[in-house]
Structure 1
């Protein structure tokens, strides 16, 4: 079981001070969070990809390459890489190059994104979002596995005898997760290729995501990749922790009300009731996270978001200390308890090489 954190990289003013970080300050804070994540023993750091304010991480491989040079162990990933508006050739080459520089500590999550204007900015039509995701990934899958690719599709110019460079490290492409908050077609795509499926269920009631994960598991088995229990599942989550539950709620409420992804929606209490969001003591975070296995079965990767809505870097680093010291050891022990030997571990480059 892998544990980590992900960031959407929003630039939001701290509601307690009214001060917002500069773009450089926010990017440097994301680097500091990644380094702290490795220090406290987490397995994964992931960054989103956005091309519009108030978000700043428009070039994930640049950011992750910079982090790779300063870390030794942590897996570097995305949450997500826009498969609809990026050229599959560029994705293939960027992430293979990052693989080499990071000694294989790289995977990525494919997604369509949730910002409609991004499509025309990159010459695409949002009404073709699903067909784009399917066709572009089919090409990317070939580019990483075939030395020479001949390709013709609907959405880009044909390729003839094309070789993407560099080739994947050790001949093994980065592991791919397909992320979705709403689309059964993406769960089907993940199952078809035998890739991972990541349900970022921080926005919707859990029942919706339970259906998506069950669909993915069933179709994973249908395509002959293993039993439903052997499908590779990742989940999102979010928490804000303090040793006193009431104090946690008091401190976090301004950030929740300020966050661009939550603003104007249900109340903090409603979100805590219907989603993985936990605001409370370390034990409450542990108890809520352990319910995910009851809802989704044994799974491989749990990522938390901790830095949205203007939460200052100092506070995020304090939260990571509590996660590493008090929460993570218990979660590792409890998730390992009773886990069937047939359930795969979280994907790593070394494991993929050994199976190739």
Structure 2
């Protein structure tokens, strides 16, 4: 099972000091967070893709390429690659290039994006979000697996005999997670292709997450990729930790209260009771995260949000140290207990290449 960090890359004033970091500071902070994640023994760093203030990560492959040059083991991913407003040809080329530069330590999470003004900036209509996601991924999937592609669809100009370059590393395309919070069509899409499904459940109660994951698992089996239990699932989470739970609540509350994504809404206590947000001790984070398996089954990837709402970089790095030293080692051990042998590990390039070459006979994520 993989554990890691994802960042949405927001530039938010620190409510305790009133200071807003510069864009350069925030970008550099995201790099520092990725480097700390590897140092702390985590497996994955993922960055969002946004093209509107107050966010900075408009070019994920640029950032991930830079991080690749400064890391050795970390899997580099996106927390969203906008399949609706980005050209599938450019996605195919950019991530294949990143694959080569990072020696295969690359995957990506596709998403529709939910910021309405962004769609027309790229010549699209948010009301066509689902059809765009379906059509664009159908093309992307072919571009990584075929040469001389002929294509005609509704949302882009036709292609005739087109070959995307460079080709995927070792002939193995990057693994794709389809990220969705509430769209069953995206769970269906992930299941149809035998890809991963990532449910970023940081805002949602357990029952909603359960329904989405169960739908994906059932449809994964329907399309003949394996049993429901063998479907490849990832989950989001959000934590803030201190040695004493009262200290954690007191310190995090001003950030929660003004956070752009949920500030001025439910109280911190209500939100932690109803969603996966955990504000407390490392042990409380362990207990709540282990409970995810009760409604999502055995899954492959757990990513934590630790760096938004104006939290200072020093505080964020402390959170990563706590994850690496006290939380993730216990989670690795406890999630392994009772895990059926036929449930696959999180997909990696090396493992998928070995399976593609027939070294191992078991089912391989495509």
TM-score of the aligned structures, taking structure 1 as reference length: 0.99
**Structure 2 Cα separation of the partners of residues 209 and 321 of structure 1:** 28
Shift of 1:292: 0.3
* Aligned counterparts, 1:51-90, within 5 A: 51-90=51-90
1:185 alignment counterpart: 185
**Structure 2 Cα separation of the partners of residues 204 and 244 of structure 1:** 26
1:224 alignment counterpart: 224
1:205 alignment counterpart: 205
Q: Which string of whole-angstrom CA distances, capped at 9 and with x for unpartnered residues, describes residues 149-193 of structure 1?
A: 000000000000000000000000000000001100000000000
**Structure 2 Cα separation of the partners of residues 41 and 265 of structure 1:** 35
1:150 alignment counterpart: 150
Higher mean displacement: 134-143 or 12-21: 12-21
* Aligned counterparts, 1:119-268, within 5 A: 119-268=119-268
1:315 alignment counterpart: 315
**Structure 2 Cα separation of the partners of residues 259 and 41 of structure 1:** 29
**Structure 1 Cα separation of the partners of residues 184 and 54 of structure 2:** 29
* Aligned counterparts, 1:277-316, within 5 A: 277-316=277-316
**Structure 1 Cα separation of the partners of residues 65 and 147 of structure 2:** 25
Q: Which string of whole-angstrom CA distances, capped at 9 and with x for unpartnered residues, describes residues 81-105 of structure 1?
A: 0000000000000000000000000
Shift of 1:265: 1.9
**Structure 2 Cα separation of the partners of residues 9 and 354 of structure 1:** 35
**Structure 2 Cα separation of the partners of residues 106 and 271 of structure 1:** 33
**Structure 2 Cα separation of the partners of residues 17 and 301 of structure 1:** 35
Give the secondary structure class of the aligned counterpart of 1:279: strand
Query: Do the aligned residues in 1 keep the contact of 2:204 with 2:274 (CA within 8 Å)?
Result: yes
Shift of 1:267: 1.3
**Structure 1 Cα separation of the partners of residues 58 and 177 of structure 2:** 19
Shift of 1:114: 1.6
Q: Which string of whole-angstrom CA distances, capped at 9 and with x for unpartnered residues, describes residues 209-260 of structure 1?
A: 1101000000000000000000000000000000100110000001111211
Higher mean displacement: 260-269 or 301-310: 260-269
Shift of 1:125: 0.7
Shift of 1:206: 1.7
- Once superposed, what is the RMSD of the aligned Cα atoms? 0.6
Q: Which string of whole-angstrom CA distances, capped at 9 and with x for unpartnered residues, describes residues 312-351 of structure 1?
A: 0000011111111111110110001111111000010001
Query: Do the aligned residues in 2 keep the contact of 1:258 with 1:310 (CA within 8 Å)?
Result: no
**Structure 1 Cα separation of the partners of residues 325 and 127 of structure 2:** 46
2:49 alignment counterpart: 49
Query: Runs (4+) of structure 1 moved beyond 4 Å?
Result: none
Shift of 1:264: 2.5
**Structure 1 Cα separation of the partners of residues 81 and 265 of structure 2:** 26
1:29 alignment counterpart: 29
1:328 alignment counterpart: 328
Query: Do the aligned residues in 1 keep the contact of 2:258 with 2:264 (CA within 8 Å)?
Result: no
5+ residue gaps, structure 2, are 357-366
2:347 alignment counterpart: 347
Query: Do the aligned residues in 1 keep the contact of 2:204 with 2:276 (CA within 8 Å)?
Result: no
Q: Which string of whole-angstrom CA distances, capped at 9 and with x for unpartnered residues, describes residues 268-294 of structure 1?
A: 111101111000011000000000011
Shift of 1:204: 1.6
Give the secondary structure class of the aligned counterpart of 1:145: coil
Query: Do the aligned residues in 1 keep the contact of 2:192 with 2:223 (CA within 8 Å)?
Result: yes
2:361 alignment counterpart: none
Shift of 1:129: 0.4
Query: Do the aligned residues in 2 keep the contact of 1:139 with 1:151 (CA within 8 Å)?
Result: yes
Q: Which string of whole-angstrom CA distances, capped at 9 and with x for unpartnered residues, describes residues 60-89 of structure 1?
A: 000000100000000000010000000000
